Amino acid sequence: MTTTENDLLPVIHAKAGQGQAVWFGDAIYSFKATKATTNGALTFAEASVPPGGGPPPHVHPHADEAFFILSGELEFLNGQETFLAGEGDFVYIPRGTRHRFRNVGLHVSRLLFLFTPSTGMENFFSAIGTPARPGIAPLPLTPEQQRQIVELAPEHDLRLAL
C-alpha cells in the first residue's frame, strides 16, 4: 500500500503557550499533542508539579509512558521500589508497570511526558480538572474531584494501584 499526501496527518506545531492547559489539583498540565491530533499515536504534555505533588500509584495497561525532567527532582515508584530523577533525566515506564511520581524538592518541578499509543489521558484530566487561567492560583483537588478520579480512571486506561 502506498501512502499519498492526502493520507498523511498534518504536522503539529504547538508554539510556546499553546495547547489545552488544565489545572489538576495544584498542578498544571498543558497538552501539546492529543489522541485526536495524532490519530491515536501519542499524547504529549508539559507539567508543572508543586512540592509534594504527583499522582497516586497507578498502572496504564495499554500505553507506555515516558518522562523528561526539565527542572526539579521527582521520586518515581517502579513497582515496589523508588528512585530519584532530576533535571535532564529521562524515565520510561512500560505499560502494565505500577508507578507514580512525586515532587520531593522545594520548588515546582517541570517535566514533559508522553503516552504511546494515546489512550486519551487528556480527556481524563479535562473531565476532572479545570481550565487553567492566567494570574489565578490553582487549588488542591476537592473531595468531588478525588471521587471522580476513582470513578473515571477505568474509562481512560488507568488502573489505580494503591
Query: What does the pLDDT read at residue 5?
Result: 56
Query: What does the pLDDT read at residue 6?
Result: 59
Position 3 pLDDT exceeds 70: no
Q: Read off the pLDDT of residues 18-43 as tens digits, 9 standing for 90 and up.
A: 889 999 988 999 999 999 999 999 99
Q: Which cell numbers in the block locate residue 55?
A: 499522582
- The 3-state DSSP class for residue 86 equals strand
- What 3 state SS string does 88-117 have? CCEEEECCCCCEEEEECCCCCEEEEEEEEC
Higher pLDDT, 5 or 144: 144
pTM value is 0.88
User: Could you write out the DSSP letters of every residue in 20-56?
Assistant: EEEEETTEEEEEEE-TTTTTTS-EEEEEEE-TT--PP
In CATH, 18-160 is 2.60.120.10: yes
